Structure 1
Amino acid sequence: MEEVCEGKDFSFPKQEEKILSFWSEIKAFETQLSRTESLPEYVFYDGPPFATGLPHYGHILAGTIKDIVTRYQTTTGHHVTRRFGWDCHGLPVENEIDRKLGIKRRDEVLKMGIDKYNDECRSIVTRYVEEWEKVITRTGRWIDFKNDYKTMDLKFMESVWWVFSQLWDKGLVYKGFKVMPYSTGCKTVLSNFEAGQNFKDVPDPEIMVAFPVVGDPDNAAFVAWTTTPWTLPSNLALCVNPNFDYVKVRSKYTGKVYVIAECLLSSIPVEKPKSSDSKTSSSKTKGAKTEKPMDSYELLQKFKGSELVNKKYEPLFNYFEEFADAAFRVVADNYVTSDRGTGIVHCAPAFGEDDYRVCIENKIINKGENLVVAVDDDGCFTDRITDFSGRYVKDADKDIIEAVKGKGRLVKTGSFMHSYPFCWRSDTPLLYRAVPSWFVRVEKLKDQLLENNSQTYWVPDYVKDKRFHNWLENARDWAISRSRFWGTPLPVWISGDGEEIVVIDSVAKLEKLSGAKVVDLHRHKIDHITIPSSRGPEFGVLRRVDDVFDCWFESGSMPYAYIHYPFENEEFFAKNFPGHFVAEGLDQTRGWFYTLMVLSTALFGKPAFRNLVCNGLVLAEDGKKMSKKLKNYPSPMDVINDYGADALRLYLINSPVVRAETLRFKKDGVYNVVKDVFLPWYNAYRFLVQNAKRLEVEGFAPFSPVSPTAQQKSSNVLDQWITSATRSLVHFVRQEMDAYRLYTVVPYLLKFLDDLTNVYVRFNRKRLKGRTGEDDCRIALSTLYNVLLTACKVMSSFTPFFTEVLYQNMRKVSANSEESIHYCSFPLEEGEVLPNHLVDELS
């Protein structure tokens, strides 16, 4: 047995690079997979990232968690297939191309041609694959890049079609109008869970607008409040709460008569006529108390909100005159609250979820069929809104307020600071806009989703029991289609009269019905394919709808699509679903974890996974989000080159971020791991090597460790104590790893290393150096050897490089040892019998 390197010259990063070469030389990962092929399968789903950017600490954290768990499961007798996956479709890719080509409007893509646009998208999908493989491999993660899966592959896309067809057959898919969060920056709707990812506190204008009551003897006007003046041109109704008390009041100063909720009367201003003698007015009011609205208004009438229903009012603009018979009247609904405003809400059904609902319920619009959306895909007013046509709606707020004022209808104006959703990709404010979309009936599955969630195990558990549970409890139907280009097309073919719909579940079915040869499922390869009507030639042909899938639908289909189920691997899937393990960040509770659960519940009535580790966010040292632009964090590769990947892995794992909290990344923290963990560990190993070599120097037989069984019979109390401590380490790590509590292991290891170096080695120096006789020396060295070897096997999943470094030297004095520590089984606990299908390398 030789020293790996002299103390001061020992470089953890350089040793790790040597180990990488060694693994490559012996094909360690491939060999491990081959050796365990006959063992029970442990199914791990790797969430697919986009390769349009480089990996950051968040990716490294999640990857480390995945690597530790899958390595551990291999050591405990499982075969763990680990295929890397790539998310290839959707807005991240299209955004890059739009910026590259200067595309700002949808019609520019159509003019360019979908085929050319999609080819551009495909060209950047794998732009950083080599860099990803380099970084991920350098962190010590064993993952199969050669046999990866891509969401743009034909087989993957075909399975996505099958998933959709199953939902369709179950009656869980429908097409409808729905007010959805819409990104003008990305020209597409977002799912509700996407809309919740980027809220900002921003000021918006708040105004109160007068709507004169038709035929009122006092010339009263309803007062409505809004923070979206741009929706006023599309107003079709006013909504009150049927249970609120409303009052009709007359200003003592101006004579104007308003109708407003009694509890919100204080929100309207005290309207006083302008005084001709400003000085006199000033002197009279100096020192006087501010007059309250209730003191400056005379009560004329009081009534319940329900009494106002169907009262007509004068529209603010004339853009929707054809709706006059059914619209411009009061409706009632309990969604109107009394926490702010006037108790009267203006309704523009195309731009508010509740507005849309109450207008349909009150037959102001007919099930959305006659809905007019007067804002285009770019967020600009259409030609119908003649005074503001072509203007971006948020930019038109000031002019709309001026127009309201010019009509004498402005009661009050001001600024309102509130939390507002922004697109998480383009960082533009979201508009709530009615769009036609295809939906999955998630609300119908709600009870089953909650039941399936209860069958899963999460670390930490509060994320499952609170955050995820609450999200499922309030789940809405999921808009799964996008009016975009680079994605898996919806497999829906429809006749010109809309009476005949065919949903395709496979390439073979499309080829059979159409007679066309299909080699690619992207839009530009299949949009031209038609299917003859089953009703006869006179009914023409069916054409595919334009939409593509939301890429979340694709990633949620991953457990089936990555193995091309059900076209292949039916037996494998039947035996191994739900999967055993997934791990991603906290944001995926409303993303991937959610879509996995929805689709598995809809398809099989089961959760998609059994165990889940949810990590938090890694921030810059100053507590801000890590930003390449600000350069407020060190490069991951720089940290690895300075301190080693093992140190980075332990630093991340031994932090609150694994408990779904935040971590302020500090490079010094990685250095401290080297200082507090690896140097004591290395020094204990080095002390063993030096004294084992001393035996030969002093003329004794070369060191060969006695068997663990013989060593455990040592009568020395320190030998017995450290052996017991090692057994406790084995028990603790297995217990915590079986419970997926990775973050508890490092503190326990630190205590163990402290016991080993500062107690066992320190008080055993004479024995270890041979001062108490050769036999006693060999027992002490054997004890230290077996303790270090066991510790390496226990920690090999956490620190794959350093444990391999030590093991490769220690195995030289052990007969029948494995070629790599990563072929070794996890150490047995006292009294435990090794399963027959495993090789007992401890004997």
Structure 2
Amino acid sequence: MVEPVPESIHFPSEEKRILQLWKDKDCFQECLKQSKNRPKYTFYDGPPFATGLPHYGHILAGTIKDIVTRFAHQSGFHVDRRFGWDCHGLPVEYEIDKTLDIKGPDDVAKMGIAEYNRQCRMIVMRYANEWENSVTRMGRWIDFKNDYKTLYPWFMETVWWVFRQLYDKGLVYRGVKVMPFSTACNTPLSNFESNQNYKDVQDPSVIVNFPLLEDENVCLIAWTTTPWTLPSNLALCVNSELQYVKVKDNSTGKVYIMMEARLVALFKTEEEYTIMDKFPGKTLKGKKYKPLFDYFRKCGETGAFQVVMDSYVREEEGTGVVHQAPYFGADDYRVCMENNICQRDQAPVCPVDSSGCFTDEVTDFVGQYVKDADKNIIKWLKERGRLVNSGSFKHSYPFCWRSDTPLIYKAVPSWFIRVEHMVEKLLENNDKCYWVPEFVRERRFGNWLRDARDWAVSRNRYWGTPIPLWCSDDFEEVVCVGSMAELEELTGVKVTDLHRESIDQLTIPSRCGKGVLRRVTEVFDCWFESGSMPYAQAHYPFENRKEFEDTFPADFIAEGIDQTRGWFYTLLVLFYTLLVLSTALFGKPPFKNVIVNGLVLA
């Protein structure tokens, strides 16, 4: 007999009654038992950090995931639904740094990596109970008992295996590139991370003079919004094809060289200046000038402090003369390398430490944080007659997504995954996936893939999966380890944990007479772990090999639009490992269907 529907329903009470019924009868596990022999429907759940509490976005995305996987189950499939936890990386480390007032690597060295990582481990599951309560309260069926954590040794072992496959295919290299660098977190960030947090800011705007050695009464003038990079100046760059002028400032009598199209950067009216000569930029090639500072004057012996050419100098901003600090600007670095002003085998002119403070070479500003030093550098330039003009400039500038501090651009040695050569294949595999809404695939994500760059996967940090490379001091001999068994075979030591404190001291005998090989100090960017999740959650290929291969690629994933540069870039890591991996290893995309939900504003 069907019970009559009551005249009024108190929905919160009904929800609690249903949840209690599901709990008493263990309905979720019972459903999994009943369906275990059915065809499998594969679902990947993007894991959260338990260092923060769930918010509306998690609840919305989780509801969509629950609807689709329930429907698949009711349509005759077996659907494993495992909850996962991101445990490594900056989100955890930044919390510890704030709590313990850690300012940089020296503070970590004093306390020791083992203690630092112990502190991180203590907070990674801080809000796990709140997560389970909230997810359960929403009525979502997902397996918390059979979860995975990125800190599990077996998960980390698969991450090593993933990297080893890329290494064996020649997709891993060590390089120096100018990258966004977080001075608060003491580590470089990927370009996609730096794109997450742009702000409109007022920065200083200065025009500085560089007297020609052939005639110090004539000065090239360059504009910059980063005065802190001026102590590292090694060259000036002009456009060889555009028109330049020698111009006299009628009010001061001083003579400058600048781009004709950029006279407006210094003068308000034509009455303020007199043009003395016109010539193409290429006329200036190789001309020597007087350095601003004496810190790196010796670099002049190897070609520094001269005018170089490049087409990246445009007529839209500045003076048409661009100051080159090669280790703080990507174009600067490229141009100076091409002109042999920077040498790969020479120590870089990079007098800024990982906390963003000037090192001993910059004697006038040593110890000062670079952004704070701007005003002191401007004062120094003015007192010595090198400042032509100063003001402020409003522009959009990247901030660290974790610490909300300004990023700087800095050349640092990093380990990279080659991606640029496979852009067409990435796009082809992306086209095989069914996206809802479709425009995200074609536009936002597709455009991003078209601009894909080689990916810096190393981080100068502590709490993460260590990069499994053991190298000689000169990096000429490199061994990539792909499993714990291989590590034991090569070192003679059996380990049960793969974090830095457990393996950093292990050495591998050199086969080339170079003594012993030591592990590089870096850990993986935690996005690399997230991208390895489909493999690592199954401990592939060490376990579940056939089961995984029979159900790959996944039938379904889902994520919010705000995450197309977060975990969804990890679906660029699932498009940088999966797509790079699934393309390189399996020749197919990592998933078949994806739902991208909108934002919840609250």
Name the SS for the 1:7 alignment partner: coil
Q: Distance in 2 between matches of 1:534 and 1:70?
A: 52
Q: Distance in 2 between matches of 1:587 and 1:167?
A: 29
Q: Where is the helix percentage greater, Structure 1 or Structure 2?
A: 1
Deviations 1:280-332 (A, max 9, x none): xxxxxxxxxxxx0x333222211111221111111111111110121011111
Q: In the TM superposition, what are the counterparts of 1:355-374 in structure 2 within 5 Å?
A: 355-367=332-344, 369-374=346-351
Q: Where is the strand percentage greater, Structure 1 or Structure 2?
A: 2
1:424 to partner: Cα distance: 0.8
1:375 aligns with 2:352: yes
AA at the equivalent of 1:234: S
Name the SS for the 1:598 alignment partner: coil
Q: Distance in 2 between matches of 1:2 and 1:615?
A: 38
2:261 to 263, 270, 293: 263
Q: In the comparison of the two structures, how many residue pairs are matched?
A: 594
Name the SS for the 2:202 alignment partner: strand
Partner of 1:222: 220
Partner of 2:296: 320
Q: Distance in 1 between matches of 2:306 and 2:519?
A: 41
Greater CA drift, 94-103 or 173-182 = 94-103
Partner of 2:145: 146
AA at the equivalent of 1:233: P
1:603 to 581, 590, 602: 581
Partner of 2:505: 528
Name the SS for the 2:316 alignment partner: coil
AA at the equivalent of 2:554: G
Name the SS for the 2:441 alignment partner: helix
CA contact (8 A) 1:177 1:368 kept: no
Partner of 1:564: 539
Q: Distance in 2 between matches of 1:369 and 1:617?
A: 49
CA contact (8 A) 2:570 2:576 kept: no
Name the SS for the 2:555 alignment partner: strand
CA contact (8 A) 1:183 1:190 kept: yes
Between structure 1 and structure 2, the one with the greater Rg is 1
1:498 to partner: Cα distance: 2.9
1:367 to partner: Cα distance: 2.6
Partner of 2:443: 466
Partner of 1:309: 285
AA at the equivalent of 2:551: N
AA at the equivalent of 2:285: V
Q: Distance in 2 between matches of 1:163 and 1:446?
A: 20
Deviations 1:691-736 (A, max 9, x none): xxxxxxxxxxxxxxxxxxxxxxxxxxxxxxxxxxxxxxxxxxxxxx
AA at the equivalent of 2:80: T
Q: In the TM superposition, what are the counterparts of 1:124-135 in structure 2 within 5 Å?
A: 124-135=123-134
Partner of 1:593: 571
TM norm structure 2: 0.97
CA contact (8 A) 1:54 1:131 kept: yes
1:2 to partner: Cα distance: 4.8
Deviations 1:451-486 (A, max 9, x none): 111111111111111111111111111110001000
Deviations 1:382-429 (A, max 9, x none): 010000000000001111111111111211111111000001110000
1:219 to partner: Cα distance: 2.3
1:5 to partner: Cα distance: 6.4
CA contact (8 A) 1:445 1:601 kept: no
Q: Distance in 1 between matches of 2:476 and 2:340?
A: 25
1:412 aligns with 2:389: yes
Q: Do the aligned partners of residues 4 and 444 (structure 1) sit closer, same or farther apart at CA in structure 2, a change above 3 Å counting? A: farther
Structure 2 unmatched runs, 5+: none
Q: Distance in 2 between matches of 1:4 and 1:36?
A: 32
Deviations 1:167-203 (A, max 9, x none): 1111111111111101111111111101000100010
Partner of 1:478: 455
CA contact (8 A) 2:229 2:325 kept: yes
AA at the equivalent of 1:98: D
1:607 to partner: Cα distance: 1.7
Q: Distance in 2 between matches of 1:4 and 1:412?
A: 83
Deviations 1:17-70 (A, max 9, x none): 111111112211111111111222111111111000110101101101111111
Partner of 1:207: 206
AA at the equivalent of 1:597: F
Deviations 1:252-303 (A, max 9, x none): 3322111111111121136xxxxxxxxxxxxxxxxxxxxx0x3332222111
AA at the equivalent of 1:180: M
Q: Distance in 1 between matches of 2:107 and 2:578?
A: 38
1:6 aligns with 2:9: no
Partner of 1:751: none
1:104 to partner: Cα distance: 1.4
Among all aligned residue pairs of Structure 1 and Structure 2, give the percentage whose two residues are the same amino acid: 60
Partner of 2:66: 67
AA at the equivalent of 2:601: L
Q: Distance in 2 between matches of 1:548 and 1:13?
A: 46
Structure 1 unmatched runs, 5+: 271-291, 621-843
Q: Distance in 2 between matches of 1:245 and 1:535?
A: 56
1:435 to partner: Cα distance: 0.9
Greater CA drift, 607-616 or 124-133 = 607-616
Partner of 2:236: 238
1:497 to partner: Cα distance: 4.0
Q: In the TM superposition, what are the counterparts of 1:578-727 in structure 2 within 5 Å?
A: 578-590=553-565, 591-605=569-583, 606-620=588-602
Q: Distance in 2 between matches of 1:460 and 1:497?
A: 50
Deviations 1:731-780 (A, max 9, x none): xxxxxxxxxxxxxxxxxxxxxxxxxxxxxxxxxxxxxxxxxxxxxxxxxx
AA at the equivalent of 2:579: T
Deviations 1:351-375 (A, max 9, x none): 1111111110110011374312110
Partner of 2:516: 541
1:4 to partner: Cα distance: 6.4
CA contact (8 A) 1:151 1:157 kept: yes
Name the SS for the 2:364 alignment partner: helix
2:492 to 515, 526, 531: 515
1:15 to partner: Cα distance: 1.0
Q: Distance in 2 between matches of 1:172 and 1:91?
A: 25
AA at the equivalent of 2:251: Y
Name the SS for the 1:89 alignment partner: coil
AA at the equivalent of 1:39: R
1:585 to partner: Cα distance: 1.7
Q: Distance in 2 between matches of 1:95 and 1:544?
A: 24
Name the SS for the 1:115 alignment partner: helix
Name the SS for the 1:175 alignment partner: strand
Q: Distance in 2 between matches of 1:454 and 1:67?
A: 26
1:589 to partner: Cα distance: 2.2
Name the SS for the 1:222 alignment partner: strand
The CA RMSD measured in Å over matched residues stands at: 1.3
Partner of 1:163: 162
Q: Distance in 2 between matches of 1:264 and 1:172?
A: 44
Deviations 1:637-691 (A, max 9, x none): xxxxxxxxxxxxxxxxxxxxxxxxxxxxxxxxxxxxxxxxxxxxxxxxxxxxxxx
Q: Distance in 2 between matches of 1:98 and 1:389?
A: 24
CA contact (8 A) 1:496 1:541 kept: no
Deviations 1:84-118 (A, max 9, x none): 01000001111111122121121111110111111
1:7 to partner: Cα distance: 2.0
CA contact (8 A) 2:247 2:275 kept: yes
Deviations 1:463-521 (A, max 9, x none): 11111111111111111000100000000011234321110000000001111011000
Q: In the TM superposition, what are the counterparts of 1:763-774 in structure 2 within 5 Å?
A: none
Partner of 1:633: none
